[in-house]
Amino acid sequence: MRFSNSLAGLALASTLLAASAEAREMNLAFTPPLNSHYGDAGKAFAARMEELSGGDITINLKPAGALGGERDVLEGLQIGSIELTITSTGPVGNFVPSVYALDFPFLFEDYEHARSVLDGEIGQELLAQFESHDMVGLAWAENGFRHITNSVHPIETPEDLSGLKLRTMENQVHIAAFQAAGASPTPMSWTEVLTSLQQGTIDGQENPIPVLTANNIWEIQKYLTLSGHVYSPAVVVMSKIHWDGLSEEEQGWMREAAKAAAEAARATVSANEEAGVELLRENGMEVVTDVDKAAFAAAVQPAYEQFAEQYGAELIERIRDAK
């Protein structure tokens, strides 16, 4: 009797050991709240991974900057302290320089143009470049076209930007663009923006509609200008250290789950863009809709002169031609 018990015990122990060796947890970090386009993307990633791995890999979502700003999180991926993120390309150019080509103002015509470029040759070429920077670019998700908010006065012309303390992402092209337009750009991580706006150390910021609504921006900003001055891609990225620890099959699961995340982000952005402007208006924001985009494009043009050569003039031309 004793012998068979110990054999059963041994079998159970080895099964549990095998199971625990299999069962893994990974963090997926992002800066918007859970109730946002990135949150929908994260949930889609986690659900798909649950399905594909049969529960062996659990994705823990870390929303609202829980693991730091986008730049911090990318550094975390490089050293392996964080496994996954969904991030805007804002700070990515500081790690993967060629990605800066995506961040130029008034480069993308509309969502269709942006999505087809990112899902096509150009987008795939750029994803492949993450690997030489200790990261793996899994898929292009979406942040959306960026618009300007501020608490001083309605911005109707580029001249209205003059002297405004405008937060930008930690992105050289965006800083140069708003400098050229006469604003005084202040780069900072999203995790500091709401407090800085509340304290008045900055007058405004710029972000896509889903980021504005997810953060109830109407509570601290009065004016919204639908400038659409930059298309802001988001990207699903994995730490290369953790990627290299996966089997080929598991790596395929990561790509599948990232695709599901990308689709979910785009679906939420498409659904919320218009409704989001209404929500901002209903909550008291004054919305400038009739924006002279040509005038804004001319005002930020010096950013091209300053950076296009360095960050891929040829790539920028290819993107323009892909309209």
Count the residues in the chain: 323
Ranges within 231-290 binding ligand EAX (CB under 6 A)? 232
Nearer to ligand EAX, 88 or 186 (CB): 88
Nearer to ligand EAX, 70 or 103 (CB): 70
Mask 181-220, x = binds ligand EAX (CB under 6 A)? ---------x----------------x---x---------
The one segment of 83-91, 93-101, 243-251, 284-292 that binds ligand EAX by CB under 6 A: 83-91
- 302-304-310-316 Cα dihedral, nearest 10 degrees: 180
Q: Is 4 helix (H, G, I), strand (E, B) or coil?
A: helix
- Residue type at position 45: F
Residue owning tokens 């859970």: 34
Is 272 buried (19+), middle (13-18) or exposed (0-12) by CB count in 10 A? Answer: buried
Nearer to ligand EAX, 209 or 308 (CB): 209
Minimum CB separation from ligand EAX for residue 188, in Å? 9
Nearer to ligand EAX, 207 or 221 (CB): 207
Minimum CB separation from ligand EAX for residue 271, in Å? 17
Residue owning tokens 């140069």: 176
Whole-number Å distance between alpha carbons of 269 and 39: 12
Mask 89-128, x = binds ligand EAX (CB under 6 A)? -x--------------------------------------
Minimum CB separation from ligand EAX for residue 16, in Å? 40
Minimum CB separation from ligand EAX for residue 144, in Å? 9
Whole-number Å distance between alpha carbons of 142 and 271: 13
The answer for 144, left when phi > 0, alpha when psi is -120 to 50, beta otherwise, is left
Residue owning tokens 């005038």: 295
Minimum CB separation from ligand EAX for residue 317, in Å? 26
Is 280 buried (19+), middle (13-18) or exposed (0-12) by CB count in 10 A? Answer: buried
Minimum CB separation from ligand EAX for residue 52, in Å? 26
Confirm or reject binding of residue 32 to ligand EAX (CB under 6 A).
Answer: yes
Whole-number Å distance between alpha carbons of 42 and 60: 9
The one segment of 54-62, 85-93, 147-155, 213-221 that binds ligand EAX by CB under 6 A: 85-93
Q: Where are the beta strands (DSSP E) in the chain?
A: 24-29, 57-62, 84-88, 135-150, 165-168, 184-187, 204-208, 223-239, 286-288
* 272 close to 211: Cβ distance less than 8 angstroms: no
Minimum CB separation from ligand EAX for residue 232, in Å? 6
Count the site residues for ligand EAX by CB under 6 A.
12
Taking CB under 6 A as the criterion, the residue among 40, 70, 83, 142 binding ligand EAX is 70
Confirm or reject binding of residue 225 to ligand EAX (CB under 6 A).
Answer: no
Whole-number Å distance between alpha carbons of 49 and 255: 10
Confirm or reject binding of residue 169 to ligand EAX (CB under 6 A).
Answer: yes
The one segment of 87-95, 98-106, 286-294, 305-313 that binds ligand EAX by CB under 6 A: 87-95
Residue ranges in contact with ligand EAX by CB under 6 A: 31-32, 70, 87-88, 90, 143, 169, 190, 207, 211, 232
